[in-house]
Chains A and B, each alone.
Chain A
Amino acid sequence: MLQIAIIVSLLLLGYVFGRHAEAKHYRYIEAKESELLALPATNLRTPLNTSKTISHTELVTGNVVISVDYFKRMLATLRALVGGEINAYETLVDRARREAIIRLKTSCLGASEIINLRLETSSISKGGRNQIGSVEVLAYGTAIYYQGANTEGTVL
Chain B
Amino acid sequence: MIITNTETIPNKTISICHGVVSGSTVRAKHAGRDFMAGLKNLVGGELVGYTELLSESREQAMERMKAQAAELGANGIVNVRFSTSSVSAGASEIYIYGTAVTVE
**Which A residues contact B (CB, under 8 angstroms)?**
10, 13-14, 17-18, 21-22, 25, 45-47, 53-54, 56-59, 61, 63-70, 72, 99, 115-116, 118, 120, 122-128, 130, 133-134, 136, 138, 140-142, 144
Contacts of B13 in A (CB 8 A): none
Query: Is residue B45 contacting chain A, with contact meaning CB distance below 8 A?
Result: yes
Given A58-B3, A59-B4, 7 additional A-B pairs, CB 8 A: A18-B45, A54-B11, A56-B2, A57-B10, A61-B58, A124-B47, A125-B86
Contacts of A115 in B (CB 8 A): 6
Q: With A122-B84, A124-B86 as given contacts, are A144 and B44 in contact (CB-CB < 8 Å)?
A: no
A-contact 0/1 string along B54-90, CB 8 Å cutoff: 1100100000000000000000000011111110111
Contacting pair B50 A68 (CB below 8 A): no
Within the complex, which residue of B10, B40, B51 is in contact with A63, where a contact is CB–CB below 8 Å?
A: B51
**Which B residues contact A (CB, under 8 angstroms)?**
2-7, 9-11, 37, 40-47, 50-51, 54-55, 58, 80-86, 88-90, 92
Contacting pair A136 B44 (CB below 8 A): no
Q: 9 smallest A-B Cβ distances: which pairs?
A: A69-B44, A128-B89, A65-B50, A17-B43, A122-B84, A18-B44, A59-B3, A142-B4, A54-B11
Q: Measured between C-beta atoms, what is the minimum distance from B97 to chain A in Å?
A: 13
Contacts of B50 in A (CB 8 A): 65, 124, 134, 136
Q: How far, in angstroms, from A133 to B89 measured CA to CA in the complex?
A: 10
Task: Select the residue from B50, B85, B90 with max chain A CB neighbours within 10 A.
Answer: B50
Within the complex, which residue of A45, A69, A120, A127 is in contact with B89, where a contact is CB–CB below 8 Å?
A: A127
Contacting pair A127 B88 (CB below 8 A): yes
Contacting pair B6 A142 (CB below 8 A): yes
Contacting pair B83 A120 (CB below 8 A): yes
B47's nearest neighbour on chain A, judged by CB, is A65
Q: With A124-B50, A125-B90, A127-B89 as given contacts, are A67 and B6 in contact (CB-CB < 8 Å)?
A: no
